[in-house]
Amino acid sequence: MDRFASVIEQTRPRDRPASVRFDLRATPSKGYGFYALHAIERGTLIIDESPLVAVPPGINDASYLLGALKKLTQEQLTTFHNLHFDDNEASAGEDDKAISIFALNNVEMGSEQTHGRAVFAKYSRLNHSCLPNIDNSYSASTGKLTAHAIRHIESGEELTTSYINLVQPAEQRALELRQWGFECSCSVCGSRDVAASNKRRQRMCSIREAFDIMVDHDDETVDPDAVPITPSERSTWAAELAKLCKEEGLVGRDLEHA
């Protein structure tokens, strides 16, 4: 079985939450990606899976990962080795390739990496977008990562998530994504309207930063650098932020950063 056919085999419908269908295809510029086979309503559960391999918080030692891989079944190991890897590592030894696969495909489990990082058979196939249609949530009690549609997804649309904080201007997003080893070719970064989007995100950042140094007029614990703000000023700025988020189409977790 070639690499592509074997990947398709691993993502057969029986492994997915009932009734949501998507398939893995080559994208024009991002390697493989998942595409919806029908329209998906906002809020729909799309992926529900346990990690293939997980590394607990604070462990940076490659030997932990290599030891964990030894405990996988042959089928799981094949799934892991079929994930995206850096072409420069193609001729590297087995261990270096495994480390590169983990580095390029790992996902934070819980915010602030409370539960470490893991690689997933399906979720790790999602490409990044600066206007994603999927967000995830990790449950420590079930040990599973779930991914839901955060807006309506059209049939044929690519399923995408975000790897970074999106409330940042394009240059800062590009800088962060470069650490993941790629130049973003998502619909926002590749669009003719990138300048308008950038202006909105810059303004969102400025408002967020301003909120960070502001305190209520009647706050007793006054920080000398803090700028006093009245409740009416606060709500004017919050309304502007909400309007900018709506114009940008940013929903879900990104609102936390706004």
d(CA 108, CA 100): 16
- Name residues whose C-beta falls within 8 Å of residue 20's C-beta, 6 or more positions apart in sequence: 40, 44, 45, 46
Q: Which is nearer to ligand SAM, 47 or 241 (CB)?
A: 47
Q: CA of 225: how far to CAs of 210, 212, 213, in Å?
A: 11, 11, 7
Burial tier of 202 (Cβ tally within 10 Å: 0-12, 13-18, 19+): middle
Q: Which is nearer to ligand SAM, 104 or 214 (CB)?
A: 104
Is 190 a binding residue for ligand SAM by CB under 6 A? The answer is: no
Closest distance to ligand SAM from the beta carbon of 113 (Å)? 17
Burial tier of 58 (Cβ tally within 10 Å: 0-12, 13-18, 19+): exposed
Q: Which is nearer to ligand SAM, 11 or 127 (CB)?
A: 127
The binder of ligand SAM chosen from 11, 20, 22, 32 (CB under 6 A)? 32
Closest distance to ligand SAM from the beta carbon of 70 (Å)? 23
Task: Draw the binding track, 92-131, toward ligand SAM (x: CB under 6 A; -: no contact).
Answer: ------------xx------------------xx-xxx--
Looking at beta carbons, which residue is closest to ligand SAM? 31
* 178 φ, ψ (degrees, to nearest 5): -60, -30
Residue numbers at the binding site for ligand SAM (CB under 6 A): 29-33, 83-84, 104-105, 124-125, 127-129, 180-182, 184-186
